[in-house]
Amino acid sequence: MAISTQHEMKSQWKSRTGFLLAAVGGAIGLGNIWRFPFEAGENGGAAFVIIYVGFVIIIGFPLLAAETMLGRYGKQGAVTNFGHVARMEGKSQNWKYIGWFIAFSSFILCSYYSVIAGTTAAYAYEAVMGSFSGITPEGSVELYASYSSSPLKLTFWHAFFMIVCAFILSHKLNDGIERMTSIAMPIFFFLLLSLIVMAAFIGDFAAGAAFLFEPDFSKVTLSVVVSALGQAFFSIGVALGIMLTFGAYLPQETSIVKSAFIICIADTCVAVFAGLSIFPIVFGFGMEPNVGSALVFNTMTVAFGQLEYGGLVGAGFFTLLAIAGFTTLLALMEQMVVYLNKFYDMSRGKSASIVTGAIFTVGMLSVFSSNILAHVKIAGLGLLDSFDWYVNQIGLPLGGLLTAVFVGWVIKKQNVIEAFGENESHLDLLYTVIKYLCPIAIAIVFVSQIIAQFS
């Protein structure tokens, strides 16, 4: 049976650096800066960090490499790649539904992610306008409530993110995502390192470092393990179609294994560095680390308000979060844009407008979840929190499990090895991990947390 190459990617990354910056930008998002600190804070600090790093090594890295290989092998975006590769392997077309499942999870993630990211941009604006100056704990709660209770404010910043993303995604790969991330990521790393240095001077760096690096394993429970797995997936962006799509643009001579290793190292370092920029300030100002998502929006604003140049520091911190949100949203939406562009022969501008418009519309449910629709609950959770629960507890682990099974059990081993490239080392070991260890590890944790959830 002849396999059509009509919808395969023609564009390629201009350079390995451009690919890595885009991939790191896609992986490094609010999961590292916003989510990781409060997850660590709620789950015992260093013990959680160690489990998280372990999952990144034994599951995240192999899956990231597998997804990138799968993208380069099929040369299509995440939505259609599974079905295309299944045809290449002479297997059932039912495997195509993995791509649709992953795209659905990514779409849901984008819909509420944009609302949270929009709030970080709003806080950067508030910092510049002096709203943090002398702010009290009660004042920080009121400031957050002024946004969460206002559909108009949340809608404005949600729309702001979608409009900017639509503009960037309307350009071709090299002029859009690659150029934007090549500018944004150096700024991101400069801001992050600057904040760590500042935290060392104004906070209790020893206490912050101890919280992150001195484990108390008595606090480890099944929920901590599940949270660490979800954070590992969420943080490096596996099972969301990012690397599947980016891999389709990857030249054959680029090493997938080395690239995946660099991405995982960079992502993990950023998560830890985010903790080192936040927890010294938290402990230095006598605050609690286990306050959930309020850690960033409430606790940190109070700390910034007590500094002489707190407005400047706060603006830098929330700009860091906003950049992380932008780069991840772009990476997530590229798979949807390229699907419409390739399979419906739409221009990238029209494709980007349709995708961002649909995400903006569904995202309004998350905008309303803290005000107009605050009374609507799904299993006791508000709309935004229920979307987040689905993505982290169902979408990511199940998408990762299905991807590992597809690469390990559907594609012929020789084809996997050849798709990785003959110059890669330790491919037999990597293939074994993808085929056996990843599915087993993910399945055990996934089933355990489902049982715990409904028991």
Domain CATH number, residue 97: 1.10.4160
- Spatial neighbors of 310 by CB under 8 A, at least 6 apart, are 127, 132, 133, 303, 304
Residue 18 domain flag: no
CA-CA-CA-CA torsion sign (283, 289, 117, 115): negative
SS3 of the chain: the string is: CCCCCCCCCCCCCCCHHHHHHHHHHHHCCHHHHHHHHHHHHHCCCHHHHHHHHHHHHHHHHHHHHHHHHHHHHHCCCHHHHHHHHHHHCCCCHHHHHHHHHHHHHHHHHHHHHHHHHHHHHHHHHHHHCCCCCCCCHHHHHHHHHHHHCCHHHHHHHHHHHHHHHHHHHCCCCCCCHHHHHHHHHHHHHHHHHHHHHHHHHHCCHHHHHHHHHCCCHHHCCHHHHHHHHHHHHHHHCCCCCHHHHHHHCCCCCCCHHHHHHHHHHHHHHHHHHHHHHHHHHHHHCCCCCCCCCHHHHHHHHHHHHCCCCHHHHHHHHHHHHHHHHHHHHHHHHHHHHHHHHHHCCCCHHHHHHHHHHHHHHHHHHHHHCCCCCCCCCECCECHHHHHHHHHHHHHHHHHHHHHHHHHHHHCCHHHHHHHHCCCCCCHHHHHHHHHHHHHHHHHHHHHHHHHHHHC
Sign of CA dihedral 69, 397, 383, 39: negative
Question: Residue 150, by phi and psi: left (phi above 0), alpha (psi -120 to 50) or beta?
Answer: beta
Q: Is 361 within the bounds of a domain? A: yes
Q: Is residue 15 part of a domain?
A: no
How confident is the model at residue 41, as a pLDDT? 85
Looking at this protein, which amino acid is placed at residue 369?
S
- Nearest by Cα to 78 from 61, 97, 103: 103
Residue numbers of the domain that contains 198? 29-454
- Domain membership of residue 252 (yes or no) is yes
Residue 12 resides in a domain: no
CA distances from 213 to 53, 275, 420 (A): 12, 10, 35
Q: Are 247 and 69 a contacting pair, CB within 8 Å?
A: yes
222-277: pLDDT as tens digits: 878 877 887 887 778 899 999 999 999 999 999 999 999 999 999 999 989 999 99
How far is residue 130 CA from its own chain's centroid?
30
Q: Is the model's pTM score more than 0.85?
A: yes
Total structural domains in the chain?
A: 1
**Residues 6+ away with beta carbon under 8 Å from 228:** 39, 43, 48, 51, 52, 54, 55
Q: What is the pLDDT of residue 1?
A: 42
Do the domain assignments include residue 80?
Answer: yes
Domain assignment of residue 441, yes or no: yes
Low-confidence ranges of the chain (pLDDT < 70): 1-6, 292-293, 455
Task: Name the token pair of 111.
Answer: 């819909």
User: What's the pLDDT tens digit per position in 202-227?
Assistant: 899 999 999 999 998 888 888 788 77
| Any domain includes 6 | no
The pLDDT of residue 449 is 74
Sign of the torsion formed by the C-alpha atoms of 139, 142, 147 and 153: negative
